[in-house]
Amino acid sequence: MNSSRRLFVSLLRHALVLGGALGAALPAARAQSAFVPNRGQWDAPARWQAVSGEQTAWFAADGWTLVHESRVARRGVALRFTFVDAAPAVLRGEGRRTEVRHWFTGDRAVTDVPAYDALHYAEIYPGTNVRVHATGGALEYDLCLAPGADPARIVLRCEGADALELADDGALLVHTALGILRQPAPLTWAVLPDGGREELPCRYRLLDGERFGFDVPGADGSRPVIIDPVLEWASYLGGSSLEYVYAVAEDAAGLTVAGSTTVSNYPTTTGAYDTSWNGQQDAFVSRLAPDGTTLLFSSFLGGSKDEEARAVCLDSSGGIVVAGWTASANFPTGSTSFDKSYNGGAGTLRSDAFVTRLAPGGSALVFSSYLGGSKDDFASSVGVDGAGRVHVAGKTSSPEFPTTLGAFDRTHNGGSIEVGDAFVA
């Protein structure tokens, strides 16, 4: 077994069995996404390491291994990328930082290890260098072709994936047990004599179930060319059975999603409003960090019957407003809520609409109210205005759905139990 294969097998074993121990000793490296040479501090044949978000990358002379450790799913997966028929490259760091790092493990000390902003592969193919760097929570590798270098020569093999797929938008999708590693269609350009850029079309070539390359029809060999793929993880969010995301809201603090789950092991976070599944089908509200790598909070929302969160929005303070439907007589409500009693239902869902507001951190219920009548009611859209007032819309088949004096239409106009009238409240 060659050293590259040993590296892949070793890292895969660590990722799947130890569940993320590879990066545990380096919280500082994880935050700063530095490239660090291996001077004996790690028991691995890899020459360099970098950590970016939930990815730990180990670099050898012919490619790299990505170990993705999902703190949401509490699992890991390893993908090995190697350059096919390439020369073993000389690796060197670029952009040395002022920091140095030290490791003390048992009776072994490795000190004064430098850190760099990027890693350079020299002459991986004739006239082709590779520069790897991190941007936010994603790793990028720039393929730098000198005049005369052939882009068709570049072929990468991906081991450890379930499948490779080309998306309609030109992205390369690497399917894994933890979700999809997505490489968008690479930004590609020719370098002009004055240092400017001329963008070139570029698309992935899927050669078989493990190998892919690049097609750059505008590269004529007379100018340097840069091909710039990005490695972006799209993570699963869920438990062991069915989940549905129906609504998404985004702000600077992260990505908030709402939907429904049928399982008790949907991931929740310590300190969230409700970390216990309430039975049958619960609504959920979860917030991910802006780069998608961390579950900031996650909470169930429901009673002993079925619920779905169908809409979510954020107020000016970061508070979360959720709307949907519930069939539970014990759906959580607040002491001052407009309607604290389940009104029943007569259709398939036997539901009331609900409107719930959670504190910005998701730890407390600000208010929560039923909204409906004796037949089915369903909220499907919600918004908050500048004064903090909640506006909700949906449908109702209840003749006694609550209306207010002076409203445009206070009379139910008919319709089936399943359809009914629209409402705005």
In angstroms and rounded to an integer, the radius of gyration of the C-alpha atoms of the chain is 27
Same domain for 227 and 353, yes or no, is: no
- List the Cα angle 183/186/187 in 5-degree steps: 140
Q: What is the pLDDT of residue 234?
A: 64
Residue entry with tokens 């992260």: 254
pLDDT band at 264 (very low <50, low <70, confident <90, very high): confident
pLDDT band at 235 (very low <50, low <70, confident <90, very high): low
Going by the DSSP 8-state scheme, the letter that residue 281 receives in this structure is: B
The share of the chain scoring above pLDDT 70, in percent, equals: 86
pLDDT band at 71 (very low <50, low <70, confident <90, very high): low
Domain boundary among 192, 210, 234: 234
| CA–CA dist 346, 351 (Å, integer) | 8
Give residue-wise pLDDT tens across range 319-374: 899 999 999 999 999 888 898 888 877 666 678 899 999 998 888 889 999 998 88
- Mean pLDDT lowest among 9-18, 208-217, 262-271: 9-18
Across the range 396-412, mean pLDDT stands at 86
* DSSP element (H, E) containing 50: strand 48-52
pLDDT band at 145 (very low <50, low <70, confident <90, very high): very high
Q: What is the pLDDT of residue 23?
A: 28
Same domain for 7 and 35, yes or no, is: yes
Same domain for 126 and 175, yes or no, is: yes
Same domain for 241 and 223, yes or no, is: no
Same domain for 326 and 420, yes or no, is: yes
Residue entry with tokens 């979860």: 286
**Pick from 334, 321, 337, 335: nearest CA to 379:** 321
Answer whether residue 260 shows pLDDT above 50.
yes
Cβ contact 115:103 at 8 Å: no
Q: What is the pLDDT of residue 248?
A: 87
Q: How far is CA 219 from CA 202, 226, 408, in A?
A: 9, 10, 64
Average pLDDT, the chain: 84
| CA–CA dist 53, 398 (Å, integer) | 49
Q: Which long-range contacts (CB under 8 A, 24 or more apart) does 35-38 make?
A: 35/59, 35/93, 35/115, 35/116, 35/117, 35/118, 35/119, 35/132, 36/101, 36/113, 36/114, 36/115, 36/116, 37/93, 37/113, 37/114
Same domain for 217 and 259, yes or no, is: no
Answer whether residue 263 shows pLDDT above 90.
no
**Pick from 407, 399, 344: nearest CA to 370:** 344
> Token digits for 306?
């079925």
Residue of 255 and 166 predicted with greater confidence: 166
Domain hosting residue 274, numbered range: 237-424
Q: What is the pLDDT of residue 107?
A: 81
Same domain for 160 and 93, yes or no, is: yes
Same domain for 180 and 246, yes or no, is: no
**Pick from 401, 397, 391: nearest CA to 349:** 397
**Pick from 95, 224, 79: nearest CA to 159:** 79
Q: How far is CA 280 from CA 298, 302, 306, 329, in A?
A: 18, 10, 6, 13
Q: What is the pLDDT of residue 403?
A: 86
Q: Give me the sheet containing 377-384, strands edge to edge.
A: 377-384, 390-396, 421-424
Same domain for 63 and 165, yes or no, is: yes
Same domain for 214 and 279, yes or no, is: no
Same domain for 336 and 187, yes or no, is: no
Residue entry with tokens 């449908």: 395
Domain boundary among 186, 202, 234: 234
Domain boundary among 218, 234, 250: 234
> Token digits for 214?
């690049």
Q: What is the pLDDT of residue 20?
A: 27
Domains: count for the chain? 2
pLDDT band at 425 (very low <50, low <70, confident <90, very high): very high
Answer whether residue 10 shows pLDDT above 90.
no
- Mean pLDDT lowest among 23-32, 106-115, 224-233, 341-350: 23-32
Q: How far is CA 348 from CA 185, 260, 262, 326, 351, in A?
A: 45, 17, 18, 12, 8
Same domain for 170 and 306, yes or no, is: no
Q: What is the pLDDT of residue 409?
A: 84
